[in-house]
Amino acid sequence: MEILEALPTGVMLADSSGSVVYANGTALGYLGIDEKGLEDINVDGLTERDSARKETLMRTRGNDRITIRLSQAPLAGGGSVVFLTDISEIHQLQKEILKMDKLASVGELTSGIAHEIRNPLAGIKTTAQALNEELPPNDHRKAYVSRIIMEIDRLNKLLLTFFDFARPRELSIHSCDLKKIIENAVYMIKDSARESRVQVIEFYPPKKVQLRADPSLMQQVLMNIFLNAIQAMDSGGRMEIHLNDRDDHVEITVADTGKGIPENVRGRIFDPFFTTKPKGIGLGLSISYRIVKMHSGIITFVSGPGGTTFVVTLPKDPVGAG
Ligand SMILES: Nc1ncnc2c1ncn2[C@@H]1O[C@H](COP(=O)(O)OP(=O)(O)O)[C@@H](O)[C@H]1O
Ligand SMILES: [Mg+2]
């Protein structure tokens, strides 16, 4: 019995009617009950609940959501033994893989469409430019043609965003000064911040933070997060950027005083094309998510009525990044 107690796997013994006669500490922990609570449990009820997969979502006492795989084996003398394995991590990984798959197929689709649009667009632009040249210099219609060309350029930029999204990019990893990357990203969004009357405040640790990463992709991630923060503050506000050095990893937090992310959309903001903005595309965060993943990092956020804080966590030396 002492050996059973020490096992990191949950073990329960049941008699032939399914009543639990013994459960080790790990099993009790997974079930979130104490010895007394065992009286209410019948193992046949547990494993039959989802006989196809024998996986059950449970909460521990600490209220963490965990996924437990149950497997039941009959014992020779009647009764049975039930093993409980915590497969939360596997479950989480499966979800991540599904998300990456979804991103990849959206990428293929958009790059296909973007390609089809780019060629005729180039034709339209050439024609518009030719027309522009045919018109006499002071012709008032020149303004119309310029407008057409301007809108074509805008579309072209949009298409480039799609290509960026689709391209299975090779990372170009260097050792970089993270403060410089953040400063560059801040520089790029300075005008938008000023227009929205958003005060940008940066906090850096005294020592230089060196990190192996793709600087231009990292800058893209930060710009996306900064712009979202600014766009969440219609009537001005404050964006705080903190860089924290944590030995083997770094954290960049971006806190805004904006309107927050409504609870019912929080699960979807990283989905491609999910947007709540009239002129949004909804690719910023899904691209950022992918880039950070490629660096073996994670993006998380907390949000409330007082604003939103995004945290990008990156290992200093991403695995597999040559
Ligand atoms: N800092 C933030 N504050 C409030 N909402 C945010 C914030 N960042 C992201 N969001 C939400 O996530 C959605 C998706 O963001 P994103 O992928 O960048 O696409 P887009 O900015 O084009 O809408 C936004 O439309 C917005 O609803
Ligand atoms: Mg955005």
Q: How far apart are CA 59 and CA 69, in angstroms?
A: 13
Mutate-to-test residue for ligand 1 from 269, 273, 308, 310, highest number of ligand atoms within 8 A of CB? 269
85 vs 26: CA distance, rounded Å: 9
Alpha carbon distance 152, 173 (integer Å): 34
Tell which wins on pLDDT, 111 or 231.
231
Residue 144 has pLDDT above 80, yes or no: yes
Q: Which ligand is nearest to the CA of 285?
A: 1
Mean pLDDT of 197-222: 94
- The 10 Å CB-count burial string (b at 16+, else e) for 189-211 is beeebeebebebeeebeeeebeb
Residues 284, 270 contacting (CB under 8 angstroms): no
pLDDT of residue 50: 47
Residue 169: is its pLDDT beyond 80?
Answer: no
Compute the average pLDDT of residues 150-160. 85
Instruction: Report the C-alpha gap between 209 and 245 in whole angstroms.
Output: 7
pLDDT at 253 over 80: yes
Q: Which residues have CB under 8 Å from 29's CB, separation 6+? A: 10, 60, 61
User: What pLDDT does 11 receive?
Assistant: 92
- Ligand 1 near 82 CB (within 6 A): no
Task: Check if the beta carbon of residue 312 is closer than 8 Å to that of residue 246.
Answer: no
For position 77, what pLDDT does the model report?
Answer: 81
Using CA atoms, how far apart are residues 176 and 189, in angstroms rounded to an integer?
21
pLDDT band at 322 (very low <50, low <70, confident <90, very high): very low
Report the 10 Å Cβ neighbour count for 61: 12
Rg for the chain, CA atoms, rounded: 28
DSSP class per residue in 243-281 = EEEETTEEEEEEEE-S----GGGTTTTTSTT---STT--
- Whether 111 lines ligand 1, by a CB cut-off of 6 Å, is no
Q: How big is the CA angle at 247 (ends 242 and 252), to the nearest 5 degrees?
A: 20
Whether 106 shows a pLDDT value over 80: the answer reads no
For position 167, what pLDDT does the model report?
Answer: 62
| CA neighbor of 14 nearest in space, from 5, 1, 27, 23 | 23
Q: Is the pLDDT of residue 317 over 60?
A: yes
Closest ligand by atom to 229 CA: 1
Q: Is 224 in the pocket of ligand 1 (CB under 6 A)?
A: yes
Min mean pLDDT across 140-144, 161-165, 212-216 is at: 161-165
Residue-level pLDDT at 93: 81
Which domains does the chain show, CATH number per domain?
2-86 (3.30.450.20), 91-166 (1.10.287), 174-315 (3.30.565.10)
The pLDDT value given to residue 52: 46
> pLDDT at residue 60 above 60?
no
Tokens of residue 303, six digits = 């949000």
Task: Name the nearest CA neighbour of 47 among 28, 66, 68.
Answer: 68
Torsion angle of the four alpha carbons 156, 159, 165, 168, in this order, in degrees rounded to the nearest 10: -80
- The CA 119 to ligand 1 mean position distance, Å, reads 31
* Pairing assessment for the beta strands 237-246 and 198-203 based on DSSP bridges: parallel
pLDDT interval class at 59 (50, 70, 90): low
Average pLDDT, the chain: 86
Q: Specify the pLDDT at position 89.
A: 82
Is any atom of ligand 1 closer than 6 Å to the C-beta of 271? no
* 304 C-beta closer than 6 A to ligand 1: no
Amino acid at 14: A
Distance between Cα 232 and ligand 2 center (Å) = 10
Listed in sequence order, the residues at least 6 apart from 250 whose beta carbon sits closer than 8 Å to its beta carbon are: 178, 209, 211, 243, 244, 313, 314, 316
What's the token pair of residue 42? 């019948």
| Band of residue 64 on the pLDDT scale cut at 50, 70, 90 | low
Q: Quick check: 141 pLDDT over 50? A: yes
Instruction: Supply 47's token pair.
Output: 């494993």
Report the separation in Å between the CA atom of 301 and the middle of ligand 2, taken as the mean of its atom positions. Answer: 14
Residues 42, 18: contact at Cβ < 8 Å? yes
Distance from the alpha carbon of residue 284 to the mean position of ligand 2, in angstroms: 4
Q: Which ligand is nearest to the Cα of residue 261, counting in written order?
A: 1
**What does the pLDDT average to over 64-68?**
76
Asked if pLDDT for residue 211 goes beyond 90, the answer is: yes
**Confidence check: pLDDT of 80 > 50:** yes
Name 255's bridge partners.
240, 309
pLDDT at 54 over 70: no
Regarding the beta carbon of 228 and ligand 1, being less than 6 Å apart is answered: yes
Please report the pLDDT score of residue 116 as a whole number. 81
- Look up residue 214 and give its amino acid: D
Least confident of 112-116, 118-122, 296-300: 112-116
pLDDT of 165: 64
pLDDT for 40 = 83
* pTM, rounded to two decimals: 0.64
For position 114, what pLDDT does the model report?
79
- 11-53 confidence digits (pLDDT tens): 999 998 889 999 999 988 888 788 888 888 888 777 654 444 4
